[in-house]
Amino acid sequence: MKKSNRGGWHSDLGLLNWLDIKTTNHLITKIKNGIEEMLVFFNPDFNIKQHELSKLAWANVSEYGHYNSLHTHPDAIWSGVYYVDDGGDPTSKIVFPDPRVAASMIQNNLNPFSGSDFELTPHSGLLAVFPSWLQHSVKPYQGNKRGF
């Protein structure tokens, strides 16, 4: 599929239907635990067992120069990225621009809320959960690992 990916491979949206059952269960557990950890941080009384989660997943594989353009994930509350393999390139970061447009009005090292982008360095096994409305992109992959 072609979505926000510029180059690379983007699976269909049914990843959880075509993976083997052991891998699917591992991935679902990882996602649920990540969402629960994040929500409990904000609300210590949160209990994920009281909620039914609908899950949609896909895979992206990038090779040299491939990236993902700025996008959001409509029709979802939470989104995440799980790095099965970071490809050995710490520069291919996921970037979250500050959504507060006016925050960039005064750029100064005395202002810790100056509207800078937040960049997350990938590493194998990392799960990052974020609100689906939060714009994000991925910098071009500069490693030399081949996807398949």
Chain-wide mean pLDDT for the chain?
90
How far is 123 from 131, CA to CA, in rounded Å? 21
- Residue identified by tokens 């891998």 is 23
Q: Look up the CATH number of domain 5-138.
A: 2.60.120.620
Domain ranges across the chain: 5-138
73-93: per-residue pLDDT in tens?
999 999 999 999 999 999 999
Query: Residue 147 — very low, low, confident or very high, per pLDDT cuts 50/70/90?
Result: low
Structure-block tokens of residue 4 = 């926000």
Half-sphere exposure of 120 (CA within 13 A, CB side): 20
pLDDT, residue 32, reads: 87
- Write out pLDDT tens, residues 19-77: 999 999 999 999 889 989 999 999 999 888 888 878 889 999 999 999 999 999 999 99
